[in-house]
Structure 1
Amino acid sequence: MIDDKKGQRAVEKASPVQITAVYEGNDLGVSLGANLCIFKVWSPVAAQMHLLLYPPLTDRNSAEQLDQLKYQVMPMQSDGQGVWVLNIEGDWQRYRYMFRPTFADGTSTTAVDPYARAVTMNGEMGVIIDLERTHPEGWRKDQRPKLLHATDAVLYELHVRDFSIHPSSGIVNKGKYLAFTETGLRDEAGHTLGIDHLAELGITHVHLMPVFDFATVDESSVNDNLHDVSNYNWGYDPLHYNVPEGSYASRADDPETRIREFKSMIAALHQKGIGVIMDVVYNHTFDTAGSSFEKLVPGYYYRQHADGTYSNGSGTGNEVATERLMVRKFIIDSVRFWAEQYHVDGFRFDLMGLIDVATMKQLTSELHTRVSPSILLYGEPWGAMESPLAEEMTLKGTQRGAGFAVFNDNFRSVIKGDSDGDGKGFATGEEGKAAHLWTGVQGAIHDFAEAPAETLNYVTVHDNLNLWDKVARTQGLHEVLGFLQYNEDGSLKGCSSVEEAVSKANPYLQVDPNDVLGNETVRRCLLANGIVLTAQGIPLIAAGDELLRSKYGDMNSHQSGDVVNAIRWDQKQRYKPVFDYYRGLIHLRREHPAFRLRTREAIERYVCLLHQEEGLLAYEIQGTAAEDTWQRIVVIYNASMQTRSIPLPSGVWNVAVEDGRVDMHSLRTMENGQNGPYGENSQIEVRGISMTTLYSVL
């Protein structure tokens, strides 16, 4: 229920049209009953509303032929709350429909239902679908993987097409939802591929880049040609928020297929114990004037400046006015729909700074109380450009005690430096960062967070240079490795195509295949994400980091195609020690609660600084007090080139992580230094550019 008088006053003040009608029902869109179909659409400014009902798509008729057939025009009735209603008897499965509002000045248009749950190819029309008929086998038994606390999560950001499109994936359903249902795949050396690789890695959640219906990929011309760069996008261009993207389905022309295959993907991941996070983009839409929002209620869904022009805090032409009550209702209805109908386990909010704090808090409360307390919620606490939302923006600090997390760009920058340039951070060799690193390691509780579950720790995601490319750039290797370079007009330097540029690049030129872990770029990458995976908070790694994935220096690959973005699975065999290290650290984190404390008080009591100097940080966690099987734990990050000797508390110490290797039992044992090569003093030598973790037991 929406009950916010202050918010309503804001709507009346900010909207160019005076709208007081607010609908509290949960049945906007199409509802099906026994031999009955009910249509409801909110448009309080329309003078008339008609339903346009088109024949269903069939295999016998093309869409063009059907569009020429006579459609039915049915008048809808106003219910007095701004909602237009029409009840029609009969079975209308798979019929297509549109709404036609007519306004007081006589103008009229047609709009797709913003609450549509199914659409035709490229989202041109809504389709009447009974979701019960789209369940794959066993769907009713599907269950969310257990997640007791947000800090127990280990997230893995992934693009659906990137996951499977490369030939080395061994996957049949390349670029599709169904790729996640293929199991038992291995490379020639016997290493797991695809979804089995994700399970072996040990992540708890796959964070999928946008999978709702987006605008800029032509669903009628999608293919699995790795060299076709003309029809690729990340999906941050929303078209229909409540429908799965069709280009990832085996048949984009069949409304039910994309839904069924999306559910099959969810079920397959759940069966592997992996939850699914949806990357959602409620802050803007692809189009403004042509959007269903604007067509149905002109001027209401988008923020404007005082002069009536549209604001552009997203940098894409518009920003959705989330603070207005019916916009807020739409967003909450939408996330609940995905969580309840598709069993989605969490949501990442793009440019969450452009979503008002009240909406984020209400959304979080409803999902946690009415759906599941285990649903993860987090987002980017910034906008792309200036927004009139101003004080109500969801920025770092506004999440305190509200049940959602924010991306910790402070920690990110401390670890790696800037995002696209050669600026350095702790892991990439910059001095003077250890104190700031300590702030991030403590879960940002002395920065902006009330609890560690409010900080999302990461070094790179899809935006900007990925980890391998960023580290290489800080070393001045981008030209040596042949990374893509661009002219001021955006054209490639020295190459006629992206394919040519990629073919000339050699991102791993300096990596000795017989000593992968000895390479400096490799070591700095492992140190960067090693910090993320051992710090307090919620860790996220980008897909392919565990394979040393490169995007050839492309800092914005959203339209660069598969030749840049595809995950090259043959790198698992080539860089297996890297994968083993990531897997080891993830399992270490999941097995030991000391690395995922839940409260500010626990961190302040049980995590203490041991040693700090240029390029080095060492700290201890009181494991037993934190209900860990390890009594005391020491973690040391050495970002300098030199081996450093670190004093240790007296006792018997087992080394679990050292020099790119992980063994949760013990790589070796030290007792006051007597059983190691370090003499009588209780010290340990930590090799340059590496992380060491030790523990003692009773």
Structure 2
Amino acid sequence: MVPKPIPLLPAKPLAATNNISGFRVRPGLFLLNGANVVPGGVSFTIHSINATYCELCLFRRTQQEPFAILPFPDNFRIGNTFSMIVFDLDIYEIEYAYRMDGPNDPDRGLLFDKTKYLLDPYARAVTGQSIWGVNQTPGCSYHARVVEDIFDWGDFHDPHLPFRDMIIYETHVRGFTQHPSSGVKHPGTFEGLLEKLPYLLELGVNTVELMPIFEFDEMADERIVDGRQLLNYWGYNTVCFFAPNTSYTATPEFNHEGTQLKHLIRTLNEHGIEVILDVVVNHTAEGNEQGPFFSFKGLDNNIYYMLTPDGKYYNFSGVGNTLNCNHPVVRQFILDCLRYWVVEYRVDGFRFDLASILGRDTDGAPLSEPPLLESLAFDPILGRVKLIAEAWDAGGLYQVGSFPSWNRWAEWNGKYRDDLRCFLKGDGGLAWAAVQRITGSADLYPPSQRQNASVNFLTCHDGFTLYDLYSYDVKHNEANGWGNTDGANDNNSWNCGVEGDTTDPEVLALRDRLMKNAFAVLLCSRGTPMFLAGDEFANTQFGNNNAYCQDNEISWLDWSRLENHQDLFHFVSQMIAFRKAHPIIRGETAPARCGWPSVSLHNGAAWNAKMDEQTRQIGVLFTGRNQDDTADDLILLAVNSHWEAHWQGLPELPSGLRWSLVLHTACPDPFAAGPLFSGNGLQMGPRSVAVFHAVSGRS
């Protein structure tokens, strides 16, 4: 017998059970944090372990005094969670915040103050932040908005690029297009970045890593130095972890915040470009004892922050406070945050700023198996997103090669940056280290233990641009207002004989060659390559290696340099295409039929693996099967970092193959050198890189 279907009951609107301050209310959705729209109302949910009292404050748009205050009744609390549905709200006209009461004992880290308005940690949008560089509510508290999700993802498909196939392009949303030379309609915004999609496709990158886009306060620590307004431009001072930076939108998105960012992510993904967010979950904009008080300090200060025994703030972040990441409450909060960005914004991965903090215990001690890192590694929602650690912090913990992994975490390989910078400018004693970095840093990440762990880079937002790396011996951060004391001193840079700008054609030619050398080596190294936006057309920060506060031409990309450095741009684009065409560069493939090892050394001469303190010439041969698995693919990268020319011998190929010269940076047009090459060796110019490819034909 076929059972009769059970009829569905008609949906009933939620019914109010109380009246508070003239509003119909009822207990809310305790399992849904933040403000969530429900039939006829909004559910407001917040939790605190130590709070004894909580009230919801409702504001009219742009007003700083609440028009209604709704205390949570005792029966609207379960455990440590307060939740209330408020009916008949016009969500387009209201803003909200909380006030909490509880013990105030600073020595124990308890700072409850029932007079302070508190920003919802789970707020989807923060008010008063939508105009960049303008403090719209000076001296006032942060409020949150109720957000309705109206975005239609349609038939959405993530690219899901393998780690080894990624080519990461790190950029700042505002700085990418804010310069007048960018030529976009919406400079400094998500829309402006999207207008540059044709450029990104021509360049060939397939992953964009966005510097912080969580809501931050660029007005924090605003200063005037030499008549120039300095802001917190980079954004490493999170105000709210669930809210996108509304000043990055081209037009206001009242109550629909995030729509333009979602459009950007979906469109990039549709064109095969993944989006990684640089997330700052190690500290907040509340700072130390002298910092502002607007959210976590008034909720559970002694839980959310690492505190010393006398209630002060540990400062492993270098900017005042440190999130207590491995406390169960904070761990859950961070997990909720990342899950939200994956589900609601479909981001493809996260780069974690000062990630070693995420592995510290509640007292700051490093943990061998940090619960937070383990939770993120095995979380089912995060199961296919990229997790990339900046494996150090401001407290001196340096974990490159030893960051807890579970074979899920990749690392910014700071040793790749340091070793290759030194080797490429001609320092002695670095040949062995250079070979290790180029071949995948097996000394740091044994393939049998850690796969796809190394993110290789020579430049990033923090430090010199590539052009400045070969234009300045020392940093020039005077414009930051700290007497040039800020920023790193160990840059491993070289000015090629002249500090800063010059018209000397020999110096300019050398700098151009060194930049091409850097890109050739980076894009022929095993591991995931990453470079800083603008390096492909020699963008400069005028020697500033810590431009965190420079919202001006120091940090903005000057697109006029693209026209002046077209040859460099085309070189980088061709190198990216070459990397994509040869999987053996990106990682091991099926063994080559010729029987040669997958990696071998030819340092100046065929099969020569000898290296000493004077070695400044290396040759690395990658062998395996080609993209279609139809033939052997043999690629040899030769690097001569010496200031003199040297012969590079090539191994004798099996019958039917000959060596083709793909590029030689000693030539004015590196990719045009190939047709002139014939034989089993090349006289490499001073400070040059050559790439050879075995092709069919007679030698």
Does TM, scored on the shorter chain, surpass 0.5?
yes
Following superposition, the deviation at residue 599 of structure 1 comes to: 9.2
Following superposition, the deviation at residue 241 of structure 1 comes to: 0.9
Equivalent residues in 2 for 1:5-154 (5 A)? Answer: 27-55=32-60, 57=61, 63=62, 66-68=63-65, 70-77=67-74, 79-94=77-92, 95-104=94-103, 107-108=113-114, 109-122=116-129, 124-131=142-149, 133=150, 135=151, 139-147=153-161, 149-154=162-167
CA distance in 2, matches of 1:331, 1:533: 34
CA 1:213–1:488: 2 relative to 1, 3 Å: closer
Following superposition, the deviation at residue 107 of structure 1 comes to: 4.4
Find the residue that maps to 2:44 and give its secondary structure. Answer: strand
CA distance in 2, matches of 1:487, 1:291: 27
CA distance in 2, matches of 1:472, 1:50: 58
Counterpart residue number, 2:10: none
Equivalent residues in 2 for 1:624-663 (5 A)? Answer: 624=625, 627=629, 630-651=632-653, 652-659=658-665
CA distance in 1, matches of 2:665, 2:630: 24
Matched letter for residue 71 of structure 2: M
CA distance in 1, matches of 2:599, 2:402: 22
Find the residue that maps to 1:298 and give its secondary structure. Answer: helix
Alpha-carbon contact 2:480-2:549 (below 8 Å) kept: no
1:551 maps to 2:552: no
Matched letter for residue 538 of structure 1: T
CA distance in 2, matches of 1:662, 1:330: 54
1:176 maps to 2:192: no
CA 1:298–1:69: 2 relative to 1, 3 Å: closer
CA 1:628–1:547: 2 relative to 1, 3 Å: farther
The superposition leaves residues 209-265 of structure 1 with CA deviations (integer Å, 9 ceiling, x where unpaired) of: 11110023389x9xxxxx96444610001101111112212346x544642222222
Counterpart residue number, 1:378: 388
Matched letter for residue 86 of structure 1: M
Find the residue that maps to 1:557 and give its secondary structure. Answer: coil
CA 1:453–1:666: 2 relative to 1, 3 Å: farther
CA distance in 1, matches of 2:671, 2:545: 40
CA 1:463–1:559: 2 relative to 1, 3 Å: same
Find the residue that maps to 2:154 and give its secondary structure. Answer: helix
CA 1:98–1:528: 2 relative to 1, 3 Å: same
**How does the TM-score come out when normalised to structure 1?**
0.79
Alpha-carbon contact 2:642-2:687 (below 8 Å) kept: yes
The superposition leaves residues 618-665 of structure 1 with CA deviations (integer Å, 9 ceiling, x where unpaired) of: 011113288585532211111112222122111311122222789999
CA 1:656–1:52: 2 relative to 1, 3 Å: same
CA distance in 2, matches of 1:301, 1:598: 44
Alpha-carbon contact 2:120-2:295 (below 8 Å) kept: yes
Q: Which has the larger radius of gyration?
A: 2
Of the three residues 576, 585, 610, the one matched with 2:602 is 610
CA distance in 2, matches of 1:25, 1:625: 55
Alpha-carbon contact 2:148-2:255 (below 8 Å) kept: no
CA distance in 2, matches of 1:445, 1:439: 7
The superposition leaves residues 177-235 of structure 1 with CA deviations (integer Å, 9 ceiling, x where unpaired) of: 110232xxxxxxxxxxx22211111001111111110023389x9xxxxx964446100
CA 1:303–1:104: 2 relative to 1, 3 Å: closer
CA distance in 2, matches of 1:210, 1:662: 39
Query: Which structure has the highest helix share of the two?
Result: 1
Matched letter for residue 305 of structure 2: Y
CA distance in 2, matches of 1:439, 1:142: 40
CA distance in 2, matches of 1:537, 1:74: 55
Following superposition, the deviation at residue 155 of structure 1 comes to: 0.3
Alpha-carbon contact 1:180-1:195 (below 8 Å) kept: yes
Alpha-carbon contact 2:355-2:390 (below 8 Å) kept: yes
Alpha-carbon contact 1:211-1:245 (below 8 Å) kept: yes
Alpha-carbon contact 1:312-1:386 (below 8 Å) kept: no
CA 1:157–1:665: 2 relative to 1, 3 Å: closer
Provide the identity percentage.
Answer: 24
Counterpart residue number, 1:312: 315
Following superposition, the deviation at residue 605 of structure 1 comes to: 5.4
1:239 maps to 2:239: yes
Counterpart residue number, 1:583: 573
> Which structure is higher in RCO with an 8 Å CA cutoff and minimum separation 6?
1
Alpha-carbon contact 1:656-1:663 (below 8 Å) kept: no
Following superposition, the deviation at residue 685 of structure 1 comes to: 2.2
Counterpart residue number, 1:458: 457
CA distance in 2, matches of 1:80, 1:470: 57
Counterpart residue number, 1:188: none
CA distance in 1, matches of 2:164, 2:650: 28
Structure 2: runs of 5 or more not aligned: 1-28, 105-111, 130-140, 360-369, 486-497, 604-608
Alpha-carbon contact 2:420-2:437 (below 8 Å) kept: no
CA distance in 2, matches of 1:338, 1:234: 20
1:287 maps to 2:305: no
1:571 maps to 2:549: no
CA 1:256–1:268: 2 relative to 1, 3 Å: farther
Matched letter for residue 542 of structure 1: L
Alpha-carbon contact 1:116-1:242 (below 8 Å) kept: yes
Equivalent residues in 2 for 1:583-602 (5 A)? Answer: 583-597=573-587
CA distance in 2, matches of 1:629, 1:452: 26
Find the residue that maps to 1:631 and give its secondary structure. Answer: strand
CA distance in 1, matches of 2:547, 2:584: 37
Alpha-carbon contact 1:168-1:569 (below 8 Å) kept: yes
CA 1:162–1:489: 2 relative to 1, 3 Å: closer
Find the residue that maps to 2:620 and give its secondary structure. Answer: strand
CA distance in 2, matches of 1:260, 1:52: 26
CA 1:305–1:107: 2 relative to 1, 3 Å: closer
1:436 maps to 2:429: no
CA 1:572–1:684: 2 relative to 1, 3 Å: same
Find the residue that maps to 2:258 and give its secondary structure. Answer: helix
CA distance in 2, matches of 1:111, 1:628: 63
Matched letter for residue 50 of structure 1: E
CA distance in 2, matches of 1:600, 1:162: 43
Counterpart residue number, 1:622: 623
The superposition leaves residues 523-582 of structure 1 with CA deviations (integer Å, 9 ceiling, x where unpaired) of: 122222322211111110001111111100112111122221111111112111100111
Following superposition, the deviation at residue 127 of structure 1 comes to: 0.9
Counterpart residue number, 2:358: 355
The superposition leaves residues 67-95 of structure 1 with CA deviations (integer Å, 9 ceiling, x where unpaired) of: 35622323254544311111233455233
CA 1:257–1:488: 2 relative to 1, 3 Å: closer
CA 1:667–1:142: 2 relative to 1, 3 Å: farther
Counterpart residue number, 1:196: 198
Find the residue that maps to 1:438 and give its secondary structure. Answer: helix
**How does the TM-score come out when normalised to structure 2?**
0.79
CA distance in 2, matches of 1:594, 1:74: 64
Following superposition, the deviation at residue 307 of structure 1 comes to: 3.8
Matched letter for residue 248 of structure 1: Y
The superposition leaves residues 138-174 of structure 1 with CA deviations (integer Å, 9 ceiling, x where unpaired) of: 6434432341x11110001101111111121111111
Alpha-carbon contact 2:216-2:245 (below 8 Å) kept: yes
Alpha-carbon contact 2:237-2:285 (below 8 Å) kept: yes
Counterpart residue number, 1:16: none
Following superposition, the deviation at residue 358 of structure 1 comes to: 2.6
Following superposition, the deviation at residue 473 of structure 1 comes to: 2.3
The superposition leaves residues 595-634 of structure 1 with CA deviations (integer Å, 9 ceiling, x where unpaired) of: 11169999x9512222255211101111328858553221
Alpha-carbon contact 2:413-2:455 (below 8 Å) kept: yes
The superposition leaves residues 376-427 of structure 1 with CA deviations (integer Å, 9 ceiling, x where unpaired) of: 221211111257xxxxx965323444311111111111111xxxxxxxx011
CA 1:112–1:174: 2 relative to 1, 3 Å: same
